[in-house]
Amino acid sequence: MSIPSFSFQLRHVAAGSQGRLGVFTTPHGPVETPAFMPVGTQGTVKGVDPGRLRETGAQMILANTYHLTLRPGEQTVAALGGLHEFMGWDGPILTDSGGFQVFSLAERMAIDEQGVRFKSHIDGSAVELTPERSVAIQEQLGSDVAMVLDHVVALPNTREVIADAMRRSVRWAARCQAAATRRDQAQFGIVQGGLDAELRAECTEELVKLNFVGYAIGGLSVGEQPAEMYAALDVSAPLLPRDKPRYLMGVGRPIDLLEAIARGVDLFDCVMPTRNGRNALAFTDAGLIRLRNQQYALDREPLDPSCPCMACRHSRGYLRHLFQAGEMLGPMLVSIHNITYYQRLLTEARAAIVEDRFMAFLAERRRGWDM
């Protein structure tokens, strides 16, 4: 399905790797890739208002179909102007289809060819999510990019289970495409297949036939080892169209982002920056700083002297005090720092790609993180 409002321009591939510099154009503006999308599951990036979020360097954010249909409901979001106006964010937004949340959160889930039936984790009410329903919800939310509904399974698992879920995901993707009515909303297909190279290849081949605007690599970061995830990327990424954006879903360790960029991935999302921020864990080039540790009680240094974020205007000792005192400012500041760190990391990655030194950049960061 061709959508005039969307385009992807591949500008450079780094020598010695598959690292790609590109621009993904959407109705709400361009996104320079590779890019990291902070997660605003319920219409908000936890603890960070839209103005502060812009200051971190974030270009595009993610919200979630499952959570927003349960509360406040897509009709409410639509009545309040759609997701952009509802949450006060004027940049691009991607909505997940809800498939992973059904897999991870829903109680008493039942899946068949029609869709998924489950009980809400909020009030236990019965909910049905089909490919057509997922598309309808996302169209009312009004995101720029809507993910197709897929069938996610835990890893490790049997080949039979993984193959069945993968092939159902392909059939559901075709139904999502057929149900779409908004020309100002792109759909991304989702490659499944677990850690099985043949199944990943089969899924990719079938989804490419459907000619989506972009493609996600899903079903990873669900229990496998990093090396296994990298191997799955080695199989999946080269089979995806060169001229379309590639999105690795739900993967967020800094080292994993860079390893995936080296393998040709363009877009990422994860709750890790904000979840760690709420738990007094700050990302730096030297690794995690655990602010609850006593060693930081009298530390006058900022988290990172080179970081421009609001948190780095304060000492580590002050930030630690905020957590020890149960003050809400602590989680807010460290979340802002972590998102800023991710955005700076991806900005540096883009510069390294265009200068053909990405693999050296990856090696340098790996040493700093002691990995």
Q: Indicate the range of 43-52, 91-100, 294-303 predicted with least confidence.
A: 91-100
Q: Which helix (H) or strand (E) holds 144?
A: none
Q: Is residue 214 part of a domain?
A: yes
Q: Which helix (H) or strand (E) holds 312?
A: none
Q: Is residue 314 part of a domain?
A: no
Q: Is residue 17 part of a domain?
A: no
For the chain, how many structural domains are there in total? 1
Per-residue pLDDT of 252-288, as tens digits, reads 899 999 999 999 999 999 999 999 999 999 999 999 9
Q: Which residues are catalytic?
A: 96, 269
In whole angstroms, what is the distance from residue 51 CA to residue 88 CA?
Answer: 9
Confidence class of residue 1 from pLDDT cuts 50, 70 and 90? very low
Residue 85 has pLDDT above 90, yes or no: yes
Q: Is residue 30 part of a domain?
A: no
Q: Is residue 203 part of a domain?
A: yes
Residue 290 has pLDDT above 70, yes or no: yes
* CATH number of residue 133's parent domain: 3.20.20.105
Per-residue pLDDT of 316-327, as tens digits, reads 999 999 999 999
User: Considering only CA atoms, which of 179, 173, 108 is closest in space to residue 137?
Assistant: 179
- 3-state secondary structure string across 54-88: HHCCCCCEEEEHHHHHHCCCHHHHHHCCCHHHHHC
If you average pLDDT over every residue of the chain, what do you get? 95
Q: How far is CA 223 from CA 46, 68, 219, 263, 349, in A?
A: 25, 26, 10, 21, 27
How large a percentage of the chain has pLDDT more than 90?
A: 88
CB 40 within 8 A of CB 339: no
Confidence class of residue 17 from pLDDT cuts 50, 70 and 90? very high
Measured between its terminal Cα atoms, the distance across the chain in Å is 42
Domain of 67 in residue numbering reads as 61-270
Q: How far is CA 20 from CA 17, 207, 227, 250, in A?
A: 9, 21, 21, 20
Confidence class of residue 153 from pLDDT cuts 50, 70 and 90? confident
Residue 4 has pLDDT above 80, yes or no: no
CB 45 within 8 A of CB 38: yes
In whole angstroms, what is the distance from residue 137 CA to residue 278 CA?
Answer: 30
Q: Are strands 20-26 and 214-217 parallel, antiparallel or unpaired?
A: unpaired
Q: Is residue 370 part of a domain?
A: no
In whole angstroms, what is the distance from residue 31 CA to residue 25 CA?
Answer: 6
What pairs with residue 95 in β-bridges?
63, 146
Task: Map tokens 């860079």 to a residue.
Answer: 258
What is the mean predicted confidence (pLDDT) over 329-339? 98
pLDDT at 303: 98
Token pair recorded at residue 33: 């890739």
Confidence class of residue 105 from pLDDT cuts 50, 70 and 90? low
Residue type at 135 in one-letter notation: V
How large a percentage of the chain has pLDDT more than 70?
A: 98
What is the mean predicted confidence (pLDDT) over 182-207? 96
User: Considering only CA atoms, which of 98, 60, 254, 79 is closest in space to residue 176?
Assistant: 98
Q: Is residue 259 part of a domain?
A: yes
Q: Which residues contact 19 (CB under 8 A, 6 or more apart)?
A: 13, 34, 261, 262, 264, 349, 352, 353, 358
Residue 54 has pLDDT above 60, yes or no: yes
pLDDT at 106: 61
Report the predicted TM-score, pTM, of the whole model to 2 decimal places: 0.96
User: Considering only CA atoms, which of 45, 47, 50 is closest in space to residue 28?
Assistant: 50
Q: Is residue 122 part of a domain?
A: yes
Per-residue pLDDT of 207-242, as tens digits, reads 999 999 999 999 888 778 999 999 999 999 999 999
